[in-house]
Amino acid sequence: MNKPRPNAGTRANTIRRRPVVLTKRSTTAPTRVAVLGTGSWGTTFAKILADGGADVYMWARRAEAAAAIDREHRNAEYLPGVTLPANLRATSDLKAAITGAAVVFIAVPSQALRDNLTAIKPLLGRDTIVVSLMKGVEKQTGLRMSQVIEQCLEIEPERVAVASGPNLAMEIAKEQPTAAVISSVSLETAQEVALLARNRYFRTFVNTDVIGTEFGGVLKNLIAVAIGIVDGVGYGENTKASIITRGLVEMTDFAVAQGAHAETLSGLAGLGDLIATCQSPLSRNNTAGRLLGQGYSLASVVKQMQQTAEGLASVAPVLEIAAASGVEMPIVQQVKRVIEGTMDPRDIAPHLTTASDEPQSEHGETGEIAPLGTGSVKSGSRLWRRLFGSGR
Ligand SMILES: NC(=O)C1=CN([C@@H]2O[C@H](COP(=O)(O)OP(=O)(O)OC[C@H]3O[C@@H](n4cnc5c(N)ncnc54)[C@H](O)[C@@H]3O)[C@@H](O)[C@H]2O)C=CC1
Ligand SMILES: O=C(CO)COP(=O)(O)O
């Protein structure tokens, strides 16, 4: 991995005033938006937008996939049994999908984002907002998806937003009520996107903590793989509850070290998504973990998975960033070792069973009650000093 770009550092600069003035969108005509990617989440999100009143044009890589959505109002491959809104159009012509769109939503696999952005860049309007629906980090660089978007499209962070939350596509496609967070360094942008992406079954909240919102989605995937491994091995609810709880501490420690607000990790994009993903057999990360727990190799798991399980590619870059920030992630470490085949899945959770020299405090290394998200920060590390000062 190349040296990761710092995750924009301090908490203060996650809340920024927007320096550019956006053209106000018309309130009378439906807003034209594009959704790039017609997998399970892209298609579901397009339905959310269309059901919320937007004029949605989807882009599919394959002409047959676009034609089927356009003609039959179905995406049988990814959302069997779901009827899509009649006003939802699809094309395999990227230019046709993007031209005239006020907002472009992207839902392709994270590792394919950069290549797609090259084709998207010349087609974007001057003040088009770009929204990441993805929950991965780029393997080569460790960058979050919004960072890749800003870098490749050379657009201001104020024109970029991300959506995250407990959002298992199939449940939402069946119109089961759900909430999500839309995050942008510009509150105005977040609000504009949130107004578009809401309807009678989908409620959107906003925040300006892009780092926390994005990492929440990335990190819960890794804990969901661990939970899948536990399931595959056949351990029960105590093990899972312990891993979910300690996993949230790892997620929060990591995200806070990158500049996120701890509260974001306790919200929809953190705890909310962690619960949904760890509990549901619909989760691809959970499914991948279960197969690993049953003893399948990574190559075999990837072969068996029909859809994207982002966690498998995020493990290594997340651990590299964690090491550089002095954050310990024992659960994610174990997931990596099981994926690599250097640990027997049945040995999952040694951090729960191995007796260390002295009992570790649940809340922090001093044994005093510390805020969530300081459980495994190394004493004396840069982050430790930032959180507690050098005197503790
Ligand atoms: N499915 C879900 O419930 C949710 C998924 N997400 C995120 O959305 C993103 C996309 O995931 P899904 O739609 O679920 O994946 P998916 O596996 O269902 O679909 C991926 C789509 O991307 C297309 N694709 C594959 N390689 C491509 C490439 N090189 N260039 C362009 N398109 C390519 C596929 O043809 C397919 O249409 C992921 O980051 C995932 O974490 C986020 C929230 C919910
Ligand atoms: O992000 C998701 C739910 O919020 C989907 O999880 P999976 O990618 O594991 O299916």
Distance 350 CA to ligand 1 centre (A): 33
Minimal CA–CA distance to 47: which of 221, 242, 228, 200? 200
Helix segments in the chain, DSSP class H: 40-51, 63-72, 94-98, 113-120, 145-153, 169-173, 187-196, 210-233, 237-257, 262-265, 273-279, 284-293, 298-304, 311-325, 330-340, 350-353, 382-388
What was the pLDDT predicted at 356? 61
Q: What is the ipTM of this complex?
A: 0.99
Residue 283 annotated as lining a ligand binding site = yes
What was the pLDDT predicted at 361? 74
Ligand 1 atom showing the smallest separation from residue 110 Cα: 39
* 10 phi, psi to nearest 5 deg: -85, 165
Ligand 2 atom showing the smallest separation from residue 309 Cα: 8
Q: What does pLDDT average to in each consecutive run of 10 residues of the chain (392 residues)?
A: 44 41 61 97 98 97 94 95 95 98 98 98 96 98 98 98 98 98 98 98 98 98 98 95 96 97 98 97 96 96 93 97 96 96 90 67 52 49 47 32
Minimal CA–CA distance to 193: which of 149, 133, 137, 136? 133
The reported pTM is 0.89
Length of the chain: 392
Q: Which helix (H) or strand (E) holds 33?
A: strand 32-36
Among 164, 167, 218, 305, residue to substitute to test ligand 2 (most atoms within 8 Å of Cβ): 167
CATH superfamily of 212-353+361-388: N-(1-d-carboxylethyl)-l-norvaline Dehydrogenase; domain 2 (1.10.1040.10)
Residue 40 annotated as lining a ligand binding site = yes
Cα-atom radius of gyration of the chain, to the nearest Å? 21
Minimal CA–CA distance to 327: which of 227, 248, 255? 255
- As for ligand 2, residues whose beta carbon falls within 6 Å of it are 135, 166-168, 221, 224, 273, 276-277, 283-286, 310
Distance 169 CA to ligand 1 centre (A): 11
Residue 42 annotated as lining a ligand binding site = yes
List, as one string, the DSSP characters of 304-330. H--S--THHHHHHHHHHHHHHHTB--H
- Domain spans of the chain? 30-208, 212-353+361-388
Edge-to-edge strand ranges of the sheet holding 129-132: 89-91, 55-59, 32-36, 103-106, 129-132, 160-164, 178-183, 202-207
Same fold flag, 30-208 and 212-353+361-388: no
What was the pLDDT predicted at 363? 67
The residue whose C-alpha atom lies closest to atom 5 belonging to ligand 2 is 168
What was the pLDDT predicted at 19? 44
Among 78, 285, 307, 310, residue to substitute to test ligand 2 (most atoms within 8 Å of Cβ): 285
Minimal CA–CA distance to 184: which of 150, 210, 218? 210
| CATH code for the structural domain at 30-208 | 3.40.50.720
Residue 169 annotated as lining a ligand binding site = yes
Cα torsion for 8, 9, 15, 21, to the nearest 10°?
A: -30
**Which active-site residues does the annotation give?**
220
Q: How far apart are CA 78 and CA 70, in angstroms?
A: 15
Which tokens sit at 28?
A: 């009378």
What was the pLDDT predicted at 364? 55
